[in-house]
Chains A and B, each alone.
Chain A
Amino acid sequence: MEWIALGTLEDIPAGGGRYVDTLAGQIAVLRNEKDEVFAVSNQCPHRGGPLSEGFVSGNRVFCPLHNWQIDLEKGEAVAPDSGCVKRFPIRREGDEIWLGLEEMTR
């Protein structure tokens, strides 16, 4: 696991997200109203919608394409829909945000 500096909390809009480009595809970095930050692969399990463009609320993100809800703690779509997204670890040092990646993704 390698930790990569992404920037600061300010770079991510509250209640929304940004994306990070990696060789293995995009990762969504999402911030909720309590300033908690989550990172998941930026592909909705439904039809690949970019989760970085969704509404983030509590531990959920609402996909911008067809409104599936994804539980960011479990990395799973909320029933009745089903499907998974890969989660990535986030580390916070003050306002700085670090993303943990396996070798593969880099």
Chain B
Amino acid sequence: MHSLTTVSPKPRLVVVGNGMAGIRAVEELLKMAPDLYDISVFGAEPHPNYNRILLTPVLAGEMSLEETILNPLDWYAEHGIQLYTGNPVTQIDRVKRQIVTADGTTTPYDRLLLATGAAAAIAPVPGNHLSGVLSYRDMADVEALTRSSALGGQAVVIGGGLLGLEVAHGLRARGMEVTVIHRRAWPLDKQLDQRGGVLLQKAMEARGVRFLLGKETAEILGTQHVTGLRFTDGSEIPADVLVMTIGIKPRIELAQAAGLQCETGILVNDTLQTYDPRIYAVGECVQHRGQTYGLVAPLFEQAKVAANHLAEYGRMLYQGSVTSTKLKVTGIELFSAGNFMGGEDYEEVTLLDGSQGVYKKVILQENKVVGGLLYGDTSIGPWLFQLMRDGTDVSAFRDNIVFGETHLGDSGHAGENQASRLPDNAEICGCNGIAKGSIVKAIREQGLFTLDDVRKCTKASASCGSCTGLVEQLLASTLGGFYDSTPKKKALCACTDLSHQELRDAIIAEKLFSVRQVFDYLDWRHPGGCSTCRPAVNYYVRTAWPAHGLDDPQSRFINERAHANIQKDGTYSVIPRIYGGVTSPAELKRIAEVAERHHVPMVKFTGGQRLDLLGVKKEALPQIWAELDMPSGHAYGKALRTVKSCVGSEFCRFGVQDSTRLAIELEKSLERMWAPHKVKLAASGCPRNCAESTIKDVGVIGVDSGWEIYVGGNGGMKVRAADLLCKVKTHAEVLEMAKAFLQMYREDAQYLERTAPWVERIGLEQIKATIVDDANTRKALAERLDFALSQEKDPWKEAVSGRLDIHAAPMRRIPV
């Protein structure tokens, strides 16, 4: 047999394009059939899936790249998805059923999902290749624009559509002089009539953006870098940066080269299948019934249908979408849908309030809404859109339609709370198609209190954000007095109004020794708590009262209760402690024998230099611990994990300090330390830093005169280089400093906050002042940690001796 037929128990789904439509389809698929496929995703961009809609807030400096991430790397890992970023697919071989990527590797597929999106269209004018000529489509463009704008100067945007106006707004916010060139007589002519266009233009001009209208570009000037442009009428303007936003072009090259039928986009039927039945396509690259789309709402609908068929449910059909647009330029409200121009066979109802900058226009045909545009006050948008999609007969209230539903019958509350008056089926979030009813239900039933909660649970307002106002109104009207839209503090969870800090203070001030006491005394809304507060409260109780505080196993995450890591199939992994990563032949033999005796399916070295026995049934845990006869490695806990080491001066010819010995000393004096989150240490014997000390919570590096101590580093998903805390001479000093730092972290950080964000939040200066400059505080902190650790026992020994019951065995077997 040839190499192609790698044995795989599940069919393979390969997704080309790690963007908004492709990943939404995968999410929908996982909801319906989580284990059906082995999924691989290939993306040309170096990032996990982020929210492209939010590029403008990032460009304008209002948001960071991290905040736009929709699916962090963990998400892919958690769902067993192989992700290849920065690796574009270059060929589809439909005969061999495999794809080829830029680095030359081939990957076989049983089903292929194309979600390659679109690229910015580039005007075919001379000079369009010059440096400084940019497009606006992805994070790399935002980075290039940010760099270019750092020098200030003149930015010219060609194309006054939605993207053009957004990029103009972003560059203006970066301090550039911005001119928008548009060939029509008013901007946004695809969404606005002339009157609306002029209002919009005025509003943008008031923000410092200039417009040159009715101009056609003839040539981009410059030899290497753009210097300006010339129009067909012969006039010229200077430019240091030029952005082209004249439209988008579906990315069909790959599909076309593979012989799939394409026109403007890749042709698909109502099940989103291409001409090759094994290949599906969704997103902006698709052409369905002659239409291509450039907004997320229709793409998300496509994703749902494609997923339904990939899941082999075979029930849904995609029949095209009606779309509406909103503009996301801070402070400008704009909504437009359907036919907003009207014409001979149509009726128009308009309202123009120039002084307030409000313009509303509704187009009717045979007493039904067929389109509309709202400028300045878009609050009736969702309602109007609903009327339009439902084809409601509006003859009863057509004259008042521009005032919205609130005006019908009761004028007392006009405009005050639009959202509460919408019918349950009115769509609030256009991007994700979420109706009012589902949001209200989620708020009620799941105890949601913040905008964030709603975004997480329902996805409403989580894409473009323009329905945020409506969602906030729903929160306010559903929660009544509970909802405060400008929370001064963040409540721990929906069970309480207390913040993390208030809770910690109360536990100490009121002498609360158990989770139960906290819930009772502080009037928890749900007397049983939830998965957010239970582990947090238990941690705070234990840190406040290391001797008297009750440790409630039922308030710990499963891993900390079973003292092993649960895996996706419900088995556990066992990692014994191996101090500093230094073991012995006898210990290795014992581990090997235990693994063999219990048929442990996989034995693996961890990233932290330890041995992991994977695939152990819960029932077998105590027996395995007994046979290993080693302490728990706490690899499952929000706790001290490992102290990684390099060889150090004892053997290494470069080593200047004995890093293995220090690593062992550190691990021995910190083991069994619970913390707000996991804690990883490393000790390197020389500045070559082989143990990677600078991406650890605490890392030390040996230098001739002693040790440098670094804190707040992080590897993994959000890499952060550690900060140099101080330099010390002896091992004892390292130990004391590390203990003081970690105790300060334990007492101050919020539960589930790693050291990296904590150090950033409170600032290195404060940490230095507390533990480097103040010897007394340092000593006191280290002593408090020593005391807390003296109260902790090795959980595996406790379980083996029968003093700790992890409920490994079933409550009963039937039949016995």
| CB nearest neighbor in A for B520 | A33
A81 — which chain B residues lie within 8 A by C-beta? 31
CA distance A11 to B529 in the complex (A): 21
Residues of A1-49 contacting chain B, CB below 8 A: 4, 6-7, 11-16, 18-23, 26, 29, 32-34, 46-49
Q: Interface residues of B toward A: which range?
A: 35 or more
State whether A34 touches B527 (Cβ < 8 A). yes
Contact A58 B526 (CB under 8 A): yes
Q: Which of B529, B562, B810 contacts A19 (CB 8 A)?
A: B810
Say which one of B109-117, B272-280, B500-508, B549-557 lies at the interface with A.
B549-557
Interface residues of B in 761-816 (CB under 8 A from A): 807, 810-815
Is B813 a contact of A21 with CB atoms below 8 Å?
Answer: yes
B531 touches A67 (CB 8 A): yes
Q: How far in angstroms is the closest Cβ of chain A from B35?
A: 7
A49-92: CB near B (< 8 Å → 1, else 0) gives 11001111110001011110100000000111100000000000
A105-B446 Cα distance, complex, nearest whole Å:
33
Query: Quick check: is B445 within 8 A (CB to CB) of the other chain?
Result: yes
Q: Which of A19, A57, A80 contacts B458 (CB 8 A)?
A: A80
Contacting pair A57 B530 (CB below 8 A): yes
User: Contact between B554 and A106 (Cβ–Cβ < 8 Å)?
Assistant: no
The answer to whether A18 touches B811 (Cβ under 8 A) is yes
**B797 CB, nearest partner CB in chain A, Å:** 21
User: Are B807 and A18 in touch, CB under 8 angstroms?
Assistant: yes
B454 CB, nearest partner CB in chain A, Å: 10
Establish whether residues B528 and A16, one from each chain, have CB atoms under 8 Å apart when the complex forms.
Answer: no
Partner of A26, one of B441, B558, B810: B810
Neighbouring A residues of B561 by C-beta, 8 Å: 16, 53
Given contacts A50-B570, A54-B558, A62-B530, contact A69 B813 (CB under 8 A): no
Contact status A13-B553, CB under 8 Å: yes
What separation, in Å, do the CA atoms of A16 and B811 have in the docked complex?
13
Interface residues of B in 524-575 (CB under 8 A from A): 526-531, 534, 552-555, 557-558, 561-562, 566, 568-570
Distance from A60 Cβ to chain B, minimum over Cβ atoms (Å): 8
B528-A80 in contact (CB<8A) = no
- Taking CB atoms, residues of chain B closer than 8 Å to A34 are 527-528
Q: How far, in Å, is B429 (CB) from chain A's closest CB?
A: 12
Give Cα A49–Cα B815 distance, bound, in whole angstroms: 24
Contacts of A69 in B (CB 8 A): 446
CA distance in complex: A64, B561 (Å): 11
Chain B residues closer than 8 Å to A32, beta-carbon distance: 528
| A65 near B568: Cβ-Cβ < 8 Å | yes
Q: Is the CB of A78 within 8 A of B445?
A: yes
Q: Is the CB of B814 within 8 A of A53?
A: no
In angstroms, Cα B557 to Cα A54, docked, is 8
A55/B534 contact (C-beta < 8 A), A32-B528, A50-B570 known:
yes
| B760 in the interface (beta carbon within 8 A) | no
A32 vs B810: C-alpha distance when bound (angstroms): 19
CB atoms of A21 and B812 under 8 A apart: yes
In the complex with contacts A13-B554, A78-B445, A57-B528 CB distance below 8 A: yes
Chain A neighbourhood of B530, CB < 8 A = 55, 57, 62
- Set of chain A residues within 8 Å of B570, measured between Cβ atoms: 48-50
Pair B812/A13 contact, Cβ less than 8 Å: no
Q: Judge whether B527 and A12 touch: CB under 8 Å.
A: no
Cross-interface CB contact of B457 among A54, A66, A80, A105, cutoff 8 Å: A80
| Complex Cα spacing A13 to B554, Å | 7
Residues of B within 8 A of A6 (CB): 811-812
Say whether, besides A32-B528, A34-B527, A16 and B442 are in contact (CB < 8 Å).
no
With both chains docked as a complex, state the minimum distance between the C-beta of A20 and any C-beta of chain B, in angstroms: 5
B515 and chain A: residue at smallest CB distance? A15
Residue B11, interface by CB 8 Å: no
Which A residues touch B810, using CB under 8 A? 18-21, 26
Can you list 23 A-B pairs, Cβ within 8 angstroms, ordered by A? A11-B811, A15-B529, A16-B553, A19-B810, A20-B812, A21-B814, A47-B568, A48-B570, A50-B566, A55-B529, A55-B531, A56-B528, A56-B554, A57-B526, A57-B529, A57-B534, A58-B528, A62-B531, A65-B566, A67-B531, A78-B445, A80-B438, A106-B815
User: Nearest 4 pairs between A and B by C-beta?
Assistant: A57-B528, A18-B811, A62-B531, A64-B558
Given contacts A22-B813, A80-B457, A101-B814, 20 further A-B contacts (CB under 8 A): A4-B812, A4-B814, A16-B554, A19-B810, A19-B811, A22-B814, A29-B811, A34-B528, A47-B34, A48-B570, A53-B561, A54-B558, A55-B531, A55-B534, A57-B527, A57-B528, A57-B530, A64-B566, A65-B568, A79-B446
